[in-house]
Amino acid sequence: GSHAQLEDTAPRIVEHPTDVLVSKGDPATLSCKAEGRPAPEVEWYKDGERVETDREDPRSHRTLLPGGSLFFLRILHGRRGKPDEGVYVCVARNYLGEATSRNASLEVAGE
């Protein structure tokens, strides 16, 4: 056939997350944008563990935005800990492979 066939491509990260400093209770966004064909699935990992978003838990305060960014409705921070603080990476996957973003740290400002 003479029609142009778009080739499938492995994911690549075109926008990496950057370090953020957030006041507790404020919203925050960790950016991530990946390209690939078929469009890659994006997952986030914090300190090596997969981040659950409202896709897995409807009550989660974390939302995976359509482009792949991770949005926090509000940064949780209590006396017992700082569940959102840590080092995040975003991983984009399709059947051809995966791409991992640079590390981005999320820090909660002062008390």
Calculate the alpha carbon distances from 97 to 9, 11, 87, 88, 92 in Å. 9, 7, 23, 20, 8
What does the pLDDT read at residue 108?
94
Per-domain boundaries in the chain: 7-106
Full DSSP string of the chain = --SPPPPPEEEEEEE----EEEETTS-EEE--EEEEESPPEEEEEETTEEPP-TTT-TT-SEEE-TTS-EEESS---BTTB-TT-EEEEEEEEETTEEEEPPPEEEEEE--
Query: How is domain 7-106 classified at the CATH fold level?
Result: Immunoglobulin-like (2.60.40)
Q: What is the pLDDT of residue 111?
A: 64
- pLDDT for 67-103, tens place per residue? 999 999 999 888 888 899 999 999 999 999 999 999 9
| Global pTM value | 0.89
pLDDT at 60: 95
